[in-house]
């Protein structure tokens, strides 16, 4: 079976943008059903002849702040149960949040390979924003810009190294 890579992170950090970038054209669409599924959540992807299945665990995002943490715990749970590698994506513009810390703790304890991606680093002058994420205890953050397509090669190299 293909390895499964799950994308986990707070609402609005760029999970869907990253997912759509990595999915390319070979996407297995989970049909948009109003009120049920807003995003495509599964896709086939590949990098350097490695084929894998990608999951956007944030396919259905909460609309109110008070359930964000509960939703993130659920996402992390799904990822920990199903994924071979987890991409934990954080927002380099917003900075580190309490829910990032909490979810990082859950992911760390799972023992699964975690790749930490700091998104929205759209230019080299923003690279310093990544340092604070060392505090999550998930190793070296990889800076990316999902919308600009920057850093994705480094990210995928790291992901497939765990297959």
The CA distance from 18 to 139, in Å, is 20
Q: Which of 5, 13, 130, 152 binds ligand GDP (CB under 6 A)?
A: 13
Residue that is written with structure tokens 């975690």 in the block: 114
Smallest distance from Mg ion to CB 103, Å: 16
**Torsion 9-11-13-14 (CA) sign:** positive
Q: How far is the CB of 98 from ligand GDP (least distance, A)?
A: 17
- Residue partners of 26: CB distance under 8 A and separation at least 6: 43, 44, 45, 46
Are β-strands 50-56 and 42-47 bridged in parallel, bridged antiparallel, or unpaired? antiparallel
CB nearer to ligand GDP: pick between 6 and 13:
13
Residue 9 engages Mg ion in binding (rule: CB under 5 A): no
User: Could you tell me how many residues of this chain bind ligand GDP (CB under 6 A)?
Assistant: 17
Tokens representing 134 are 């060392």
Q: Does 127 participate in binding ligand GDP (rule CB under 6 A)?
A: no
**Is 13 or 83 the residue whose CB approaches ligand GDP more closely?**
13
If the CB atoms of residues 58 and 151 are measured against Mg ion, the closer one turns out to be 58
29-47 burial: b if 16+ Cβ within 10 Å, else e: eeeeeeeeeeebbbbebeb
CA distance 117 to 28: 24
**Residues 28-67, interacting with Mg ion (CB under 5 A):** 58
- Judged by CB under 6 A, the stretch of 66-74, 78-86, 110-118, 142-150 that binds ligand GDP is 142-150
37 vs 50 by CB, closer to ligand GDP: 37
Binding site for ligand GDP (CB under 6 A): 9, 11-17, 58, 61, 119-120, 122, 145-148
The annotation places the binding site for GTP at 9-16, 56-60, 119-122
């Amino acid at each position: 079976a293909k390895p499964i890579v799950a994308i986990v992170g707070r609402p609005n950090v760029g999970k869907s943008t990253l997912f759509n970038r990595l999915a390319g054209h070979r996407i297995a669409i989970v049909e948009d059903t109003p009120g049920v599924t807003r995003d495509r959540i599964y896709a086939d992807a590949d990098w350097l002849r490695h084929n894998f299945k990608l999951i956007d665990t944030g396919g259905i995002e909460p609309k109110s702040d008070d359930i964000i943490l509960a939703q993130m715990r659920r996402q992390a749970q799904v990822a920990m149960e199903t994924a071979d590698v987890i991409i934990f994506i954080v927002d380099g513009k917003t900075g580190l949040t309490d829910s990032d810390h909490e979810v990082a703790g859950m992911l760390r304890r799972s023992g699964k390979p975690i790749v930490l991606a700091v998104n929205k680093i759209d230019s080299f002058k923003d690279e310093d924003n990544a340092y604070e994420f060392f505090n999550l205890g998930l190793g070296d953050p990889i800076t990316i810009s999902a919308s600009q397509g920057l850093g994705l090669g480094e990210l995928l190299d790291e992901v497939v190294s765990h297959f």
